[in-house]
Amino acid sequence: MSNEKLLLGQVLEIDGDPFADAWQDVVRIDTGGGVLVSDGVIRAVGDGAALRQAHPRAEVIDHGDHLICPGFVDAHAHYPQTAIIASWGKRLIDWLNTYTFPEEMRFSDPAYAREVAERHLALTLAHGTTTVCSYATIHPESVTAYFEAAAVENRRVIAGKTCMDRNAPPGLCDTPQSAYDDSKALLERWHGRGRAEYAITPRFSPTSTPAQLEALGSLWAEHPDCLMQTHLSEQTDEIAWVKELFPQARDYLDTYETHGLLGARGVYGHAIHLEPREIDRLRETGAALVHCPTSNTFIGSGLMDVARLAARGISLGLATDTGGGSSFSMLRTMAAAYEIGQLRGAALHAAQLMWLATAGSARSLHLSDRVGRLAPGLEADLCVLDLASTPAIGQRAARAETVWEALFATIMMGDDRAVASVWVAGDRRL
């Protein structure tokens, strides 16, 4: 018996970057489309009726007017902060000291780390997210817990041990040598195993001495196929702190570049308050920036200039940044990105927002050959959206003159109720 499954519905097709080309030329919705999957892989995408005729033995799952799209790709998250999401009243440095560091201390307990890892993966899946790039804590147990939980669910994940050797509680500090040794051991165990990849992870320059940054730069040079993830220019008081800690540095990015932590597989979260030199170097090296809009508004960081950075040709992704971000939903994250774009004078189209949450994030994580689009040969991670999931959204969608107008209403008002179905590696999970 054939194990082929044919999903019918409206299908989001992405052929390029809607920030580099007219969105109409590179992002389309086939209102009578189909996606054929088998053995965890997308086999064909096209006209639904034609695919049905060509594959008569395939099991048909008809989603009607629902939108079949790639599973969302969350390019920057902190799974250990799951339990402290939506904590009140702090900016970045106070947030870390008041909420984050006390919670991360608990992750030396493998049982607790496993519990939160499983919860985070379940919450993200319920919101249509199939790929996550997450920070862990300094504890190797926290990394193992996340990778093990993801393996059970066959989820594609990227994660790494968060390294800090100063300006954090003693129980959350390692050393340059232990950061190198722990990261190397975890990398050798997990990188490329199943659907897991390892990211070398200094939290950010204020919590790493130059010696630790140097050690992690050396590790990255030894394993250049890994990603390196960190934070950059999130808040103005953070940038002032970096200048005090690194008086010889030309700017914040230079604290990474000097120590071998700038490159094409570097992924830098936030990047709101960039200097012209930093933008030039990020573009020259091919590094990626990740927009975290709900976090940036929730903890008062600022407004990333997505349109300007995209116009410079910089690779961009989108992320929840939970728990500094206030939602596990990439729909809510897209809505926040739209609102920030409006404040910046550039209203992003629904096609651009969906691209950021799927193909754009996949590109920023160097996963374009595996996830982020619906195309033959890619992994069958899919999300199916109900474009009339609530009475409020439904009445707006009923007035829509185009499918893009209907989709925009779901982006702006949708939540997990809009997620009708989720597929992971060809298996239906929701």
Q: Where are the domains of the chain?
A: 5-71+372-428, 72-364
Distance from C-alpha of 74 to C-alpha of 126, rounded to nearest angstrom: 13
**Looking at residue 89, what is its pLDDT?**
81
- Does the pLDDT at position 407 exceed 70? yes
Per residue in 249-260, pLDDT (tens digit) is 999 999 999 999
Query: Looking at this protein, which amino acid is placed at residue 394?
Result: G
Whether the pLDDT of residue 424 is over 50: the answer is yes
Token couple for 129:
């997210």
Right CATH for 5-71+372-428 from 2.30.40.10, 2.30.30.230, 3.40.605.10, 3.40.50.300: 2.30.40.10
Question: Helices (H) and strands (E) in the chain — how many of each?
Answer: 18, 16
Arithmetic mean of pLDDT, 102-115: 98
Q: Does 188 have pLDDT greater than 70? A: yes
Helix (H) or strand (E) holding 133: strand 129-135
Distance of alpha carbon 362 from the chain centroid:
8
**Residue 95 has what pLDDT?**
87
Q: How far is CA 45 from CA 8, 38, 425, in A?
A: 10, 12, 16
pLDDT on residue 69: 98
Q: How far separated are the first and last CA of the chain, in Å rounded?
A: 24
Whole-prediction pTM: 0.98
Query: Whole-angstrom Cα distance, residue 392 to residue 170?
Result: 50
> Half-sphere exposure of residue 1, counting CA atoms within 13 Å on the CB side?
3
The 10 Å CB-count burial string (b at 16+, else e) for 3-36 is ebbbbbbbbbbbeebbbeeebeebbbbbeebbbb
**H or E element: which one contains 111?**
helix 110-126
Count Cα neighbours of 161 within 13 Å in the Cβ-side half-sphere. 28
Question: Above pLDDT 90, what percent of the chain?
Answer: 98
Q: pLDDT digits over 393-406, tens only?
A: 999 999 999 999 99
Give me 192's structure tokens: 């490329």
**Mean pLDDT, residues 31-57 taken together:** 98
Return mean pLDDT, the chain: 97
Average pLDDT over residues 341-364: 98
Q: What local confidence, expressed as pLDDT, does residue 327 receive?
A: 97
Give the rounded percent of residues in the chain with a pLDDT score beyond 70.
Answer: 100
Poorest-pLDDT segment among 51-55, 91-95, 105-109, 424-428? 91-95
Q: What's the pLDDT score for residue 92?
A: 82
pLDDT value at position 1? Answer: 46
Measured distance CA(352)–CA(347) in Å, rounded: 10
Q: What is the DSSP letter of 314?
A: -
Residue-wise pLDDT tens digits, 272-311: 999 999 999 999 999 999 999 999 999 999 999 999 999 9
Which CATH code for domain 72-364? 3.20.20.140
Q: How confident is the model at residue 90 (pLDDT cuts 50, 70, 90)?
A: confident
